[in-house]
Structures are given as C-alpha cells and as structure tokens.
Structure 1
Amino acid sequence: MKTKRKVFGITGIAMSAALILSACSTTAGDTSGAELTGAPNHAVKKVLFDYPFTALPVYSLVTKFAQKRADETGVKLELTNDNMDLGQQVTNLNTYLTSDVDAVVSFPADAASLESISKQYMNKGKYWVSYGGDLSNQDSSIKFSFYQSGKTLGEYAGKWANEHLGGKGEVLMIVDQTIQLGQERTKGLLDGFRATAPGMTIVAEQQGITPDQGLSVTNAVLAKHPKLNMVLAAAGDAAQGGYQALVTSGRPTNDASTFVGGLDGNEYELQQIKAGSFFRAAVTVDAEQVGNAIIDVPLALAKGQGAKASLDLPVTLLDSSSPKLDAFIDQLGGK
C-alpha cells in the first residue's frame, strides 16, 4: 500500500462543559451542553483511540484529557502509534481487531482505506466512532462544527475588511481539500467571507495545512501580490506560516492594513493575538471536550444513546478582546 501522509491539529480551552449527542450542529461560541445521563455501562470497558498524527503537540493534549475521563469512568484507554503513516494506521487497526477492545475512536487519514476495517469492527460487535469526519460504516462520529467554524472566521474577517480596508483589498485563502473536515471548513470560510466582504479580491486559493506549507504558499503569492492584505487559512498551522511569511517580508507586526486568521489556534498564534499583532483571530474547539468525547461517546452508544447520530462540538472565536484568550493559551502551554 502506498503511504499517504496528512496533518491535522485541533486545540482549545480547558472547560468542564458536558457533552451532548445530537444529529444537529451546535453554534459557534456556544460551549453549553446536556450531560449524558445514567451510570456508565461497563459493556464498554476498553476504548481504543486511533489518532494517526501522533507527532503533533495537540495529540498529547487531547489524550491527557481522554485519559482523565477514562479514569473517572473506569474505562481503560488504549492508544495506537501510527506515526503519521496511513499504512501503519491500517496495520494497527487490523491488529486490534482481534483484541479485547470494546470500541474504537479513529481519525481516518484516508476514509476509503478504513471503510472495510470499520465494518469488520462493527461485525465483531465493537463500536466504531469516526473522529474528524464520517465513514459509511460507523456507529457515530465526533466532529467540530466544521462548516460553522469556517463561516465564523470568514464573516469575522469580512467585517474587519469592510471596517479597516473599506471592503477593498487582496486576500489569500489557504484551503484544505484533502479530507471531509478540511473541505467543509474551506466551504464555510469562503461562503462567510464572500457574503460579508464581496468587494475583496481573492487572489489565490492554495492548499496548505502545515506551517511550512503556509509559509511557502504565502511567499509565492507575495511575489506576485506584494500588497496582499489578508491571509485566511482553513487550518491554524498554515495560518502561522502565512503570518511568518508576511513578517519576514518586512511587514510590521502591528500593520493596520493586514489580517491573518485561521482555524485551530496553536499557542504561538494565540500569543501573537494577545500581543496585538496582525494575527487577529483564531476559531478553535475545546480540547477537554474532545478528550471527554473519546470516552463518553462509546459509553453513550453502549447505553443505547445516540446510535447513528453525531456529536458536533461547538467552536469559539478568539481575538485580542476575548475574555477566554488567556485560558486557551494556558491550556496549550500545558498549565
């Protein structure tokens, strides 16, 4: 099998908000939820969390909260080590298929490659929860308001452009068309921005999800559009690269006519927001809620709750005036 590599990260603020299983999306910025009722059904005693992008800092953050939730509910948490490799992900899942895990929560790096595996898990009576997207064969999924998160950033950036640029200027969109999560976020980002700031000119839509990709893409666009005003990214790490490219090009960090924003803020980006730089906004999800969901969703399925439904976690927009900004930074810094 040919190895495919993709990267994804999600971050957020530590909260005690409970989770809700629902077929409907939550609204951006709404961190309330309905608590799962009843005692845990110990038919689910062991949960496997299969997250292929283990090299990302967010992995340790999410698994920390998942382990804490597992300890609270008496569940044993198992982790795969896919090492950013689709082939290794498939191998690990096949190995665990015959183990005593009762449920798997898996982020499909390539959905088509995992469809038959998820079906085999379900045929063996194990719950399959897709993370960060959907499969045809699954009991439930954990998502993060994909479209709404993109739309929230797009609308915020569009309003800023109207206020500070008179609605006229040049924009680079760093998009992700590789997986469901990225595709829905990209659509929301474009829809929200175009509807809010129709006079702005999108000079390029380029694929990118890592800091290096964001840096490379932005440098290439700056060579043709040196007065580029805005960089918006469907993945926060790419936005970091866009910001660094602009700074390296000589753009003052407090430039009044420049805006960078992204989805999934990391600690570096949020620190730039706090410092008042032109990295102005990030839309992100609560990492503690994600960690809790890794345990709570399989337990809910074992109790007959939420079958065939999705948990769609809310997102929060952070800017320099956000009262939650410091808490997000503390969480990302491990405090």
Structure 2
Amino acid sequence: MNKSRVTSLAALAAVSAIVLAGCSIDEAPSADTPDTGASGEVDKILFDYPFTALPVYASLTQAVADYAETQGIEVVFTNDNMDLATQVSQLTTHLGSDIDAVVSFPMDNAAVQTVAKQFIDDGTLWITYGGDLDEQSSSLQFSFHDSGMTLGEDAGEWITENLDGDAKVLVLGDMSIQLGQERTTGILDGLEASAPDAEIIEQQAITPDEGLSVTSAVLAQHPDIDVVVATSGDAAAGAYQALIASGRPADDANTYVGGLDGNLTLYQEMKAGNFVRGVVTVKSSELAQAIVDFPVKLGKGEATERFDVPVYFVDADSADLDDYIVELGG
C-alpha cells in the first residue's frame, strides 16, 4: 500500500461515543489479583462521559437515564465539557460519596489513573469505558480493531470493485487514546488487505468541525480524493460536508465515505442514496443497557473481568437503517 503521511491539521484528545450490539465476557481475574473495588449491590452509578460537544452525547446520556429508571438504578452524570482538568475535578468531587460504581471514559489515562485508584481504595467499582487502566475493576470495550478493520475492508472491496483497486484514500484517525489507536490501525489493516494499491493519506480528526476543516484542507491539495474513512462517525460527517462543499455531487458513483459510530447525518445521507456507503456501529439503546447492567452484575459477581462487544456494519441495504436514524432523533 502506498502511504502518504500528512502532518495533522487538527487533533483533539477525544473520541466519539461507541454503541454496542452484543457481548462476550473474558475469564474472571485470578484470585491473587489486586483489589479492584468492593462487590455488592450497585444502586447508584456515576457515568463520566467527557466529550459533551459530540452529537451523540445527548442521545446516549438520555438513553442511559431512561433505561436506569426502568431498572430502579440512580445514575449521576458528570459535565466535563471536553476538558481533562474538569474531568479530573468532577470525578474527584464524588470521592467519598454514596456512588457504588463509576463508568468513566478517560481523556488521559495517566491523569485519571490516580482518581480511579482512589475510588477503588474507597470500595467503589471502577469500570473503564473505551479502554483499560492499570487500576480498574473492569472495562467496557467495543471491538476497536475489528470494527476498524470491518470498515477498512468494506472500503477496500468497494475500491477494488468500482475503481479497479486504484484510489486515493483519506483516513481520519485518532492516535491520542487506546480506542482511537486500535480503530485507526484496524482501518489501515483492512485497507491493506482489500485494496493494497490504494494511496493513503492519514490525518487526525474526531469532531464534525475537525472532519470538515481537515478534509477541506486535504482536498485543497488533493482534489482527487476518492474515499474518506474515519475512526469517528462525527468526523466522517464533517468530511462528507467538505466533499459536498468542494463541488462533489452527493450521488457521485466514484466516492465513498464511511465512519465508525452512528451519526444522524451519515445515516440520512445513506438512506437518500448518496455516497455515504458504510457505518460500523452498535445501538445506543444497547450501550445504555450495558452501562447500567454491567456494573450491577459486576457488583453481584455475575460478570467478570471485561465486557467486550461486537459491532454491526450498516449500509443503505440494511433493513434496520431506519431504526438507527430514529435512535439518533431523526
């Protein structure tokens, strides 16, 4: 694969929310593992999702709140405003409270690790969302590499079938955290496997604004970009807007845009028959259930070390495309 690595025009230590659709659970830790928090009934959960500016934030937190109410579980939410110092401060505020379990998406593992250990030492379960910490009770993960590879393979197969294997591909990645790194690597691995002659341009983008600005800048230098794939559905939506703004027809038969995680714009353009061709995602309703149910089961000893979730590939032919649109408020 020919790779052209371009200096990042925009980066944010963030990653979009991920939704899940099924799960498998790893073996329980051995009896001599360090203490990872108290076990017992979980009645109150702190959900710490710092990336409040991402479009998925409102729908995910509402889904968590709604489901928790049906289960008689109280959920408290932080408001970190996409700022690491605020995240640490918000978490620290709840130390020594009656919180039974924390589900937290760390913006920076090293900075959050100390707080996680304090919660665990205080007898509170700590579930790391979207990665792993050295000190944790367990983690919620989302098939990071496999989901990226699924998208990369689909894009590569499309390139082979529609462009005779010769394409210029913009990969909007995220190398700031574990989830983004594994997803980015998965996309590249999938492209390598299915379209080895494609030329790759790598950039960093997470939010819709970043996807728009980064893709616009790349298009100014490489107007012949054929494919944009992103580790974030939000960034992919921004890339779609950039391509349209550059004069690319929405139904262009030789363009492919795809992303990881659901995004309403992507789904709507996909349904309209435009060049959004693939989204790898899970359902926010099912993720909300895991955010509530997994800590409860962990406290009861019914769950084990890690909750790892597969994802679904969605395209214009998916029978449940309308369901994804409705979940995101469309």
**Aligned counterpart, 1:187:** 185
The answer as to whether partners of 2:42 and 2:296 remain within 8 angstroms in 1 is yes
Q: Given the alignment, which residue of 287, 290, 298 partners 2:295?
A: 298
Q: Letter of the 1:268 partner, please give it.
A: T
Q: Letter of the 1:117 partner, please give it.
A: V
The answer as to whether partners of 1:11 and 1:266 remain within 8 angstroms in 2 is no
- Partner SS, residue 97 of structure 1: coil
The 3 A distance-change label for structure 1 pair 109 and 172 is: same
CA RMSD of aligned residues (A): 1.9
* Aligned-pair CA distance for 1:284: 1.0
Q: Letter of the 1:323 partner, please give it.
A: A
* Aligned-pair CA distance for 1:195: 0.7
**Aligned counterpart, 2:306:** 310
Which whole-Å CA distance do the structure 1 matches of 2:175 and 2:166 have between them? 27
TM-score (norm 1): 0.87
Question: Number of aligned pairs?
Answer: 309
- Partner SS, residue 232 of structure 1: strand
Q: Is 2:117 aligned against 1:119?
A: yes
Which whole-Å CA distance do the structure 1 matches of 2:225 and 2:78 have between them? 42
* Aligned-pair CA distance for 1:73: 2.6
**Aligned counterpart, 1:23:** 26
Q: Letter of the 2:213 partner, please give it.
A: S
* Aligned-pair CA distance for 1:254: 1.0
Q: Letter of the 1:320 partner, please give it.
A: A
Residues 110-149 of structure 1: pairs in structure 2 closer than 5 A:
110-149=108-147
The answer as to whether partners of 1:11 and 1:332 remain within 8 angstroms in 2 is no
Which whole-Å CA distance do the structure 2 matches of 1:270 and 1:217 have between them? 21
**Aligned counterpart, 1:220:** 217
Q: Given the alignment, which residue of 148, 167, 170 partners 2:168?
A: 170
* Aligned-pair CA distance for 1:170: 0.9
* Aligned-pair CA distance for 1:71: 2.2
Residues 213-252 of structure 1: pairs in structure 2 closer than 5 A:
213-252=210-249
Segment of structure 1 superposing worse, 229-238 or 219-228:
219-228
**Aligned counterpart, 2:3:** none
Which whole-Å CA distance do the structure 1 matches of 2:73 and 2:259 have between them? 35
Which whole-Å CA distance do the structure 2 matches of 1:176 and 1:20 have between them? 24
Which whole-Å CA distance do the structure 2 matches of 1:12 and 1:45 have between them? 23
Which whole-Å CA distance do the structure 2 matches of 1:213 and 1:57 have between them? 13
The 3 A distance-change label for structure 1 pair 21 and 256 is: closer
Q: Letter of the 1:333 partner, please give it.
A: G
Identity of aligned residues (%): 51
* Aligned-pair CA distance for 1:8: 2.9
Q: Is 2:319 aligned against 1:333?
A: no
Q: Is 2:74 aligned against 1:71?
A: no
The answer as to whether partners of 1:10 and 1:58 remain within 8 angstroms in 2 is yes
Q: Is 2:7 aligned against 1:9?
A: no
Which whole-Å CA distance do the structure 2 matches of 1:216 and 1:271 have between them? 21
Which whole-Å CA distance do the structure 2 matches of 1:60 and 1:222 have between them? 31
* Aligned-pair CA distance for 1:181: 0.7
The 3 A distance-change label for structure 1 pair 55 and 170 is: closer
The answer as to whether partners of 2:54 and 2:207 remain within 8 angstroms in 1 is no
Which whole-Å CA distance do the structure 1 matches of 2:41 and 2:19 have between them? 31
The answer as to whether partners of 2:67 and 2:288 remain within 8 angstroms in 1 is yes
Segment of structure 1 superposing worse, 291-300 or 215-224:
215-224
- Partner SS, residue 88 of structure 2: helix
Which whole-Å CA distance do the structure 2 matches of 1:66 and 1:191 have between them? 33
* Aligned-pair CA distance for 1:42: 6.5
Segment of structure 1 superposing worse, 217-226 or 321-330:
217-226
**Aligned counterpart, 2:283:** 286
Q: Deviations over 1:122-178 (max 9, x none)?
A: 111110000111111001111111111100000111110000001012111111101
Q: Deviations over 1:71-103 (max 9, x none)?
A: 233221111111221111111111101111111
- Partner SS, residue 94 of structure 2: helix
Q: Given the alignment, which residue of 105, 108, 116 partners 2:103?
A: 105
Which whole-Å CA distance do the structure 2 matches of 1:264 and 1:66 have between them? 17
Structure 2 portions without partners, runs of 5+: 1-10, 28-38
* Aligned-pair CA distance for 1:21: 5.3
Structure 1 portions without partners, runs of 5+: 25-40
- Partner SS, residue 189 of structure 1: helix
The answer as to whether partners of 2:101 and 2:124 remain within 8 angstroms in 1 is yes
**Aligned counterpart, 1:154:** 152
- Partner SS, residue 120 of structure 1: helix
